[in-house]
């Protein structure tokens, strides 16, 4: 009997990786971003070059001249923004134009929990953590929110007062595929980053999530993106710095300047790197990109929705997401415990935009996928908790694959997507 050749794959998991052995003849495709890496000493140089050559904008140092209250919005603990590299360069650029500027770093938590002191220290390093004024956006502080106008959808927009009242508003972030905003980065620092609960809920309503153009890699005609961009313009974002990261979370591209122009330039780079041809199989194996995005189950639908593009109806998805912080949201957990995914989806689609429940977007997308395929979760969650929300628990990827084979058969075809957040699935074929 001919020996079956095994192929080994690594999947990002928490702060490391988790591996799986897969029969080689059953692997239909391995979908990964195109390789794009830089040397160890070049990350800072890429950022410096972007700041020296802003797109569609004067330099940040020039914009800072005469500005007293300067606010720099940056991402929270759930995003892998390399602020220890980018923030010192941003602050140096601002202060080279105005040494007297009063700088506030505003952490864009959206509807997430507040970022802890330890997480801030980990993000920025001790010097910035101890020296700079850092304020964490807290959506519960309604008095901190200021109404600034209406968005293209007709919904109102309220943002953190610090951002609205800044003399100079700067944002930093990173760009990757996003499953309903098209791409992360740019305008997302403002909405949902520093927006009120009502503003975020309206932007993430069931009708907006269900729109056919609210999808990965799409900006034109995407109603969620359009409202996000309008909110950032209403806030008068003066300058952005966005980076593109490789699979090691290293900077491989940097884009600075105008809110929309610089962001679109970065999105074009991500599209050229992340686009992969769809190959549909019986089983899809993937991950949610490791730390910090796999801290909770609430974020896991990002990779699960990518896998859903490549799994046949009735198939199985095996996803690795550590979920050390648990479910990640009380409303999300409560909705998922309804049980039947079709009931969850129908219930959420019946809600008006005004009645949007915080965190419902995650339950809506996850339940839609669960109506198509079985989702097997490799995580640190209690197996009983995993089952309580309709998912199948597995201790590792090997057990996950075995469980999937029990559903679709031992000879099932397999599509491997090591990082489900890092790719944009396009066109392609079914097997």
- Cα separation, 111 vs 117, in Å, equals 18
Q: Are 63 and 97 in contact (CB under 8 A)?
A: yes
Question: Of the listed 14, 77, 137, 178, which one is catalytic?
Answer: 178
> What is the 8-class DSSP label of residue 222?
-
Question: Of the listed 77, 112, 225, 263, which one is catalytic?
Answer: 112
178 catalytic? Reply is yes
> What is the 8-class DSSP label of residue 201?
H
Residues 6+ apart with CB under 8 A from 350: none
137 catalytic? Reply is no
Q: Are 188 and 173 in contact (CB under 8 A)?
A: yes
Q: What six digits make up the tokens of 402? A: 């075995």
Q: What six digits make up the tokens of 120? A: 């801030």
φ, ψ dihedrals at 272, nearest 5°: -70, -25
- Cα separation, 156 vs 150, in Å, equals 4
SS3 at position 337? coil
- Cα separation, 427 vs 417, in Å, equals 16
CA 2 to chain centre: 44
H or E element in which residue 158 lies: strand 156-160
Residues 6+ apart with CB under 8 A from 373: 308, 311, 312, 313, 314, 315, 316, 317
Q: Are 304 and 285 in contact (CB under 8 A)?
A: no
SS3 at position 378? strand
- Cα separation, 405 vs 52, in Å, equals 54
- Cα separation, 310 vs 27, in Å, equals 13
- Cα separation, 139 vs 94, in Å, equals 28
Q: Which of 53, 139, 121 lies closest to 84, judged by CA?
A: 121
Active-site amino acid positions: 112, 178
């Amino acid at each position: 009997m001919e020996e079956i050749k095994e192929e080994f794959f690594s999947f990002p998991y928490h702060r490391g990786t988790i591996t799986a052995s897969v029969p080689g003849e059953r692997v239909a495709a391995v979908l990964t971003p195109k390789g794009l890496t830089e040397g160890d000493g070049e990350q800072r140089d890429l950022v410096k070059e972007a700041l020296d050559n802003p797109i569609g904008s004067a330099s940040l140092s020039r914009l800072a001249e005469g500005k007293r209250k300067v606010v720099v919005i940056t991402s929270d603990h759930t995003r892998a923004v390399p602020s220890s590299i980018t923030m010192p360069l941003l602050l140096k650029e601002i202060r080279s134009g105005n040494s007297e500027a009063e700088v506030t770093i505003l952490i864009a938590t959206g509807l997430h929990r507040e970022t802890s002191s330890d997480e801030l220290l980990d993000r920025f390093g001790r010097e910035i953590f101890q020296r700079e004024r850092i304020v964490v956006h807290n959506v519960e502080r309604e008095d901190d929110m200021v109404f600034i106008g209406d968005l293209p959808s007709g919904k109102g927009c309220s943002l953190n007062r610090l951002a609205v009242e800044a003399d100079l508003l700067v944002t930093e972030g990173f760009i990757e595929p996003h499953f309903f905003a098209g791409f992360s980065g740019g305008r997302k620092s403002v909405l949902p980053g520093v927006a009120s609960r009502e503003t975020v809920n309206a932007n993430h309503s069931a009708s907006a999530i269900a729109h056919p153009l609210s999808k990965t890699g799409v900006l034109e005609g995407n109603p969620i993106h359009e409202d996000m961009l309008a909110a950032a313009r209403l806030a008068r974002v003066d300058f952005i710095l966005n980076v593109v990261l490789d699979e090691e979370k290293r900077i491989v591209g940097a884009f600075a300047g105008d809110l929309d122009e610089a962001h679109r330039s970065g999105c074009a780079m991500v599209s050229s790197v992340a686009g992969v041809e769809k190959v549909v199989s019986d089983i899809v194996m993937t991950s949610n990109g490791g730390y910090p995005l796999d801290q909770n189950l609430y974020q896991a639908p990002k990779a699960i929705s990518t896998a859903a593009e490549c799994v046949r109806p009735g198939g199985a998805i095996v996803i690795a997401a550590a979920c050390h912080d648990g479910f990640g949201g009380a409303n999300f957990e409560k909705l998922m415990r309804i049980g039947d995914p079709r009931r969850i989806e129908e219930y959420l689609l019946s809600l008006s935009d005004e009645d949007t429940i915080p965190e419902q977007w995650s339950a809506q997308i996850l339940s839609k996928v669960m109506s198509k395929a079985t989702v097997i979760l490799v995580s640190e969650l209690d197996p009983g908790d995993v089952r309580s929300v309709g998912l199948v628990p597995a201790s590792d990827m090997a057990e996950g694959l075995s469980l999937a084979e029990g559903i679709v058969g031992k000879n099932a075809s397999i599509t491997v997507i090591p990082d489900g957040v890092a790719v944009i699935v396009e066109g392609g074929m079914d097997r």
